[in-house]
Amino acid sequence: MSELSANSPAYAMTFGKKDYEFLKEIGVGPTNSGCYVNGVWQGNGSIVSSVNPADNQPIAEVVEASIQDYEEGIQACAQATKIWMQIPAPKRGEIVRQIGDALRSKLHQLGRLVSLEMGKILPEGIGEVQEIIDMCDFSVGLSRQLNGSIIPSERPNHMMLETWNPLGIVGVITAFNFPCAVLGWNACIALVCGNSVVWKGAPTTPLITIAMTKIIAGVLEKNNLPGAIFTSFCGGADIGQAIAKDTRIPLVSFTGSTKAGLTVQQTVNQRFGKCLLEMSGNNAIIVMDDADIELAVRSVLFAAVGTAGQRCTTCRRLLLHESIYQKVLERLLEVYKQVKVGNPLEKGTLLGPLHTRTSRDNFIHGIQKIKSQGGKIITGGNIIDSLGNYVQPTIVEISANADVVKEELFAPVLYVMKFLSLKEAIEMNNSVPQGLSSSIFTRKPEIIFKWIGPMGSDCGIVNVNIPTNGAEIGGAFGGEKATGGGREAGSDSWKQYMRRSTCTINYGSELPLAQGINFG
């Protein structure tokens, strides 16, 4: 692992003015209004600083939303929804296509902003913005495929149809680790389905919220559409709570911790709203005795170290067959030593900073807890002396029964454990409260089909010979158990953003009843 300290040449964390010039191109200045309400930028809440996690220096200031700003925004959004839902779906798809093109023109600037403000390395920052562009492309095609169905009726001269209509307003609450991609999973589909969108970005990534909104707002304005179709707020828990409580918002999509998500779910359920939850993951990679070890090691490195372990799909548990345990572990330690830690905007960096100083403190407390429960640190385990929130990528040998293994530590910490049989490995995979992603490395078809079958992984994402992270947008993304059960992005996830109606039409002159009932 490449060392980094405040005095070392590798510590190139001071950004000059030239590095901030790209912010102007995406509409970010030294001070910013953080609410896009009825086509106008405003903000009457607290003033907060966006902080660069690489050196903990402020980037810019943002005026957050007040509850009054929220109320103005939601009222305008409700009115704009009446216009938007009446526009034919393929025409709505054309607007989303233009949003995708607008994002393409600013791909590298937006990706750089993601890296600067969130802390993930530049290839991942650019990849995150590309993910929204891909979602736009997917949604454009979807806009011509929001198909209902014709159902045979048991009654003569009757026709049964199934139709889909917009819900109205979709509330989207996103987290810091994917500050714009998760918006894309939700907003692109919600918009083509005929819904308006109310977005609350993460409190610690307000500049990304502003830059994304300005691009979307520009497309709406160019097409003479109400800006309130896409309403956004920079703000804290009070704005999130307002969205959860608001009966004008039929569906709330929440991404974040299980604790916060459970509160959102309970609040939304109390008003009979719908909830789409994407919460914690505690993901395992299983390496069988017949696996391609080099393929597995490369996959584990990306899954455990990528985004500094701050993905919900990060590999946190590595389950190795006893016969190859030492071989895989030795090879993994070799590649961990080659991980370059440093400036996320610098070419070659594989591990950037944790997002906040609090995240770094949580890492310290997590390591202490791991040691107290018998965990053996075999590499890493320390913070790095620097101005930023840097920690060492860490591998821990520990018992699968340790309580700490059941929890999600949002940092590059990997637990390594042995198993003897496939049955034992699957039981270990399924033993945690979370159920998002999982992967197995094997060449045997019988193992693959057991793994993806009813007695295999209990996760929403069940991979073979690839990492637990890096999902494609074409499949439905989401997990089971404490992960929340939500599904976003591809497949038929669009159905969550619409209301289904079963329509029976009698085109005859008689009134036959179903089930052969004779009523008088």
Q: Identify whether the C-beta of residue 245 lies closer than 8 Å to the C-beta of residue 453.
A: no
- Tell me whether strands 434-435 and 274-278 are parallel, antiparallel or unpaired: unpaired
- Helices 107-118 and 122-142 pack at an angle, to 10 degrees, of 130
Sequence-distant (≥ 6) Cβ neighbours of residue 509 within 8 angstroms = 157
Q: What are the tens digits of pLDDT across the range 291-300?
A: 999 999 999 9
Splitting the chain (520 residues) into consecutive groups of 10 residues, what average pLDDT does each group show?
38 44 89 97 97 95 98 98 98 98 97 97 98 98 97 96 98 98 98 98 98 98 98 97 98 96 97 97 98 98 98 98 98 97 96 98 98 98 97 97 96 98 98 98 98 98 97 96 96 97 96 88
Q: What is the pLDDT of residues 4-19, one digit of tens each?
A: 433 333 323 333 444 6
- Which member of 312, 315, 408, 488 is catalytic? 312
Beta bridge partners of 488: 477
Q: What is the pLDDT of residue 8?
A: 36
Instruction: Please list, residue by residue across 419-440, b when 16 or more beta carbons sit within 10 angstroms of its beta carbon and e when fewer do.
Output: beebebbbebbbebebbbbbbb
- Rounded Cα distance, 174 and 272, in Å: 22
* Active-site annotation holds for 275: no
Query: Amino acid identity, residue 199?
Result: W
CB contact set of 200 (below 8 Å; sequence gap of 6+) = 171, 172, 173, 174, 232, 233, 234, 235, 239, 240, 243
Which of 64, 117, 278, 488 is catalytic? The answer is 278
- The pLDDT value recorded for residue 5 is 38
Q: Two tokens at 67?
A: 């509850």
Indicate if the alpha-carbon torsion angle 456, 461, 466, 469 is positive or negative: negative
Range list of H helices, 16-63: 21-25
The confidence score (pLDDT) of residue 3 equals 42
Residue 295 parent element (H or E): helix 293-305
> How many residues make up the chain in this entry?
520
What is the predicted pLDDT for the residue at 19? Answer: 61
CA angle, residues 394, 398, 400, in degrees to nearest 5: 125
Q: Which tokens in the block code for residue 73?
A: 């925004």
* Six-digit token string for 81: 């929804």
**Token output for 34:** 């953080």
Mapped onto helix, strand or coil, the DSSP state of residue 506 is strand
Whole-angstrom distance, CA of residue 82 vs CA of residue 230 = 13
Cross-strand partners of 232: 36, 199
| pLDDT (0 to 100) of residue 263 | 97
Contact 49, 90 (CB under 8 A): no
Residue partners of 436: CB distance under 8 A and separation at least 6: 280, 281, 282, 283, 312, 313, 459, 460, 461, 478, 479, 480, 483
Pull the structure tokens for residue 496.
């969550």
Query: Residue 12: what are its φ and ψ, rounded to 5°?
Result: -110, 70
CA 92, CA 417: separation in Å to the nearest integer? 50
List the domains of the chain with CATH numbers.
33-279+487-499 (3.40.605.10), 283-473 (3.40.309.10)
- Residues 442, 289: Cα–Cα separation, whole Å: 8
Question: Which residues fall within 8 angstroms of residue 305, CB to CB, at 6 or more apart?
Answer: 336, 339, 350, 351, 393, 412
Q: Spell out the residues 6+ positions from residue 485 whose beta carbon is closer than 8 angstroms to its own.
A: 277, 460, 478, 479
**pLDDT value, residue 40:** 98
Give residue for tokens 């405003």: 42
Taking residue 460's Cβ as centre, other Cβ atoms within 10 Å add up to: 24
Which residues have C-beta within 8 Å of that of residue 377, sequence separation ≥ 6?
367, 370, 371, 394, 395, 396
- Residue 315 bears catalytic tag: no
Residue 470 backbone class (left: φ over 0; alpha: ψ -120 to 50; beta: rest): left
